[in-house]
């Protein structure tokens, strides 16, 4: 295969988005750890590192625009740049949700701990696995894995409903936990949204591989 | 979409050397079809089979059929002059006659006796120049030499000359390859406008040009048609690996 000028740019772009993906994954994992381990320092670190993630998003945007303008990519090259340009802000938003969870953790860590965090560990684990698999599937351009990850979003949605109901029950049974439970409701919502975003990434993985838009199409 | 030109199992030989292999392709009416492919792939040869321009090459030989509006143009007794009136051509290098701007455009009208009065001739010349987006630039100097025009203007004059005899199909062989970006853009805009009334086939080395102006694209390699598809499909997700490699510059 002949060397092309665009290859170097595309490789660079791939490196950048994988770094962003890794940073986002770490942010989600640390945010949840800061909550479950009541580790306020770790939560602060998540907030601090979000600035780096925002900066990475800008750099990738800039690189994508330059490749489109200067290299006029076509076919798979084009789909790659478009996918990166669309996945990047999704990752940034996932990291924002991780920051929101970290902020909630800082508040919750100053409150008495609610006895158990019900389905939270499962929900967080599912979200983290989905994100990891989605990023791997992007790297390997694996449409099958991506479709499997999309299916797993249902697991998160189900956990969310269980957590939601459980927290409501807690608030009714024991109004003194209302503040904490309310914050936890938001945490659950953030995890649920992360699941949705991971699904969006997987849809773009399928686009990258198959040039097919599966978003908004009825599930088979 | 109705087919204007239907090519079936077309083979073409320069003496013993086969230049086109079993090409089958439909060109829809009032669309722009682009032919792309590396140098020597046969795209220009193929273009020239569509109005029998290759007839002028003594050793050329053709088999298969090219039907325009259902009539095989290689059938015995075909009026080749009428064919070329119906299927006009514009070349890479503009080739205006060393005559006035007016006479260049009037040339085909006069020799074909299309006009019925001096006023009619004037009207036809003006219309052809308007249709080729040249009128505003030349209306005050119609009697000056065409050779005084810029390269881009000369090329649009050649398009006007082709339009003046009321063709139905226009073949363009790299019409903008010798022009600067502004003149190129004018030609491209013209192509897009002209397809409302004409069927256009354009050979181009400029892939972005094919992407910008054409509805369908045909990719040729070594005399074979590798892929023929809607242009947007071709440039976002081609069916053939060879096409992908070519349009992404993986081989020259």
Q: How far apart are CA A170 and CA A172, in angstroms?
A: 5
Task: Tell me if chain B has a CB within 8 Å of the CB of A4.
Answer: yes
Tell me the nearest-neighbour CA distance from A144 into chain B, angstroms. Answer: 19
Ramachandran area for residue B251 (φ above 0: left; ψ -120 to 50: alpha; else beta):
beta
Query: pLDDT at position B250, please?
Result: 85
Query: pLDDT at position A117, please?
Result: 63
Say yes or no for a CB contact (<8 Å) between B207 and A2: no
Query: pLDDT at position A112, please?
Result: 86
Say yes or no for a CB contact (<8 Å) between B236 and A74: yes
Query: pLDDT at position A179, please?
Result: 92
Say yes or no for a CB contact (<8 Å) between B244 and A1: no
Distances A163 to A42, A112, A171 between C-alpha atoms, Å: 24, 19, 12
Mean pLDDT for all residues in chain B? 94
Within 8 A of B251 by CB-CB distance, chain A residues are 2
H or E stretch including B195? none
User: Over the stretch A65-112, which tens digit does the pLDDT of each residue have?
Assistant: 999 999 999 999 999 999 999 999 999 999 999 999 999 999 999 988
| Sites in chain B below the pLDDT cut of 50 | none
Within 8 A of B236 by CB-CB distance, chain A residues are 74-75, 78-79, 211
Residue A168: which pLDDT band, with cuts at 50, 70 and 90? very high
pLDDT exceeds 60 at position A220: no
Within 8 A of A75 by CB-CB distance, chain B residues are 235-238, 243-244, 247-248
Mean pLDDT for all residues in chain A? 93
CB A122, CB A191: distance < 8 Å: no
Say yes or no for a CB contact (<8 Å) between A6 and B211: no
pLDDT exceeds 70 at position A116: no
Residues 6 or more apart whose Cβ sits within 8 Å of residue A5? A71
Query: pLDDT at position A86, please?
Result: 97
Residue A121: which pLDDT band, with cuts at 50, 70 and 90? confident
pLDDT exceeds 80 at position A1: no
Residue of A nearest to B211 (CA): A74
Residue of B nearest to A209 (CA): B237
- B3 versus A220: which is more confidently predicted? B3
Residue of B nearest to A212 (CA): B237
Say yes or no for a CB contact (<8 Å) between B238 and A75: yes
Within 8 A of B250 by CB-CB distance, chain A residues are 1-2, 4
Within 8 A of A79 by CB-CB distance, chain B residues are 236-237
Distances B103 to A129, B145, B162 between C-alpha atoms, Å: 76, 9, 13
Residue A216: which pLDDT band, with cuts at 50, 70 and 90? confident
Query: pLDDT at position B1, please?
Result: 75
Say yes or no for a CB contact (<8 Å) between A78 and B235: yes
User: Over the stretch B47-88, which tens digit does the pLDDT of each residue have?
Assistant: 999 999 998 899 999 999 999 999 999 999 999 999 999 999
Give mean pLDDT, residues A8-29.
96
Within 8 A of A77 by CB-CB distance, chain B residues are 248
pLDDT exceeds 70 at position A219: no
Residue A3: which pLDDT band, with cuts at 50, 70 and 90? confident
pTM of the model as a whole: 0.86
Selection from B204, B248, B216, B244 nearest residue B4 by Cα: B216
Residues 6 or more apart whose Cβ sits within 8 Å of residue A44? A102, A106
Say yes or no for a CB contact (<8 Å) between B208 and A72: yes
Give mean pLDDT, residues A146-174.
94
């Amino acid at each position: 295969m002949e060397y092309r000028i665009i290859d170097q740019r595309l490789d660079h772009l791939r490196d950048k988005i994988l770094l962003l993906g890794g940073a986002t994954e770490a942010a989600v994992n640390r945010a949840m750890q800061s909550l479950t381990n009541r580790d306020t320092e770790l939560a602060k670190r998540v907030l601090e590192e979000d600035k780096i993630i925002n900066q990475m998003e800008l750099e990738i945007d800039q690189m994508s625009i330059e490749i489109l303008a200067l290299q006029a990519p076509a076919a798979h090259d084009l789909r790659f740049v478009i996918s990166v340009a669309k996945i990047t802000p999704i990752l940034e938003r996932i990291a924002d949700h991780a920051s929101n969870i970290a902020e909630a953790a800082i508040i919750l860590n100053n409150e008495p701990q609610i006895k158990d965090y019900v389905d939270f560990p499962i929900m967080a684990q599912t979200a983290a696995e989905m994100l990891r698999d989605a990023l791997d599937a992007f790297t390997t351009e694996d449409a099958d894995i991506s479709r499997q990850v999309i299916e797993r979003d249902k697991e998160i949605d189900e956990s969310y409903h269980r957590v939601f109901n459980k927290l409501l029950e807690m608030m009714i049974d024991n109004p003194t936990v209302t503040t904490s439970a309310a914050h936890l409701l938001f945490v659950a919502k953030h995890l649920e949204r992360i699941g949705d975003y991971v699904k969006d990434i997987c849809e773009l993985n399928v686009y990258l591989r198959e040039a097919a838009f599966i978003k908004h199409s009825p599930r088979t | 979409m109705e087919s204007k030109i239907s090519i079936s199992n077309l083979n073409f030989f320069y003496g013993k050397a086969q230049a086109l292999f079993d090409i089958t392709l439909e060109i829809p009416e009032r669309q722009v079809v682009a032919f792309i492919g590396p140098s020597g792939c046969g795209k220009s040869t193929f273009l020239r089979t569509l109005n029998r321009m290759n007839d002028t090459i003594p050793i050329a030989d053709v088999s298969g059929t090219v039907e325009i509006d259902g009539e095989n143009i290689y059938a015995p007794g075909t009026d080749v002059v009428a064919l070329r009136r119906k299927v006009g051509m514009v070349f890479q290098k503009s080739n205006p006659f060393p005559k006035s701007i007016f006479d260049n455009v009037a040339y085909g009208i006069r020799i074909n006796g299309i006009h019925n009065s001096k006023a009619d001739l004037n009207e036809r010349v003006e219309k052809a120049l308007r249709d080729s987006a040249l009128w505003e630039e030349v209306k005050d100097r119609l009697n000056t030499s065409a050779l005084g025009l810029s390269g881009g203007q000369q090329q649009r004059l050649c398009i006007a000359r082709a339009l003046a005899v009321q063709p139905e199909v226009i073949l363009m062989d790299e019409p903008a390859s010798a022009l600067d970006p502004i003149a190129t853009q004018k030609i491209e805009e013209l192509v897009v406008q002209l397809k409302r009334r004409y069927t256009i086939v354009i050979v181009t080395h400029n892939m972005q040009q094919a992407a910008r102006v054409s509805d369908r694209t045909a990719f040729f390699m070594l005399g074979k048609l590798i892929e023929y598809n809607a242009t947007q499909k071709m440039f976002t997700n081609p069916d053939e690996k060879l096409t992908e490699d070519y349009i992404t510059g993986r081989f020259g």
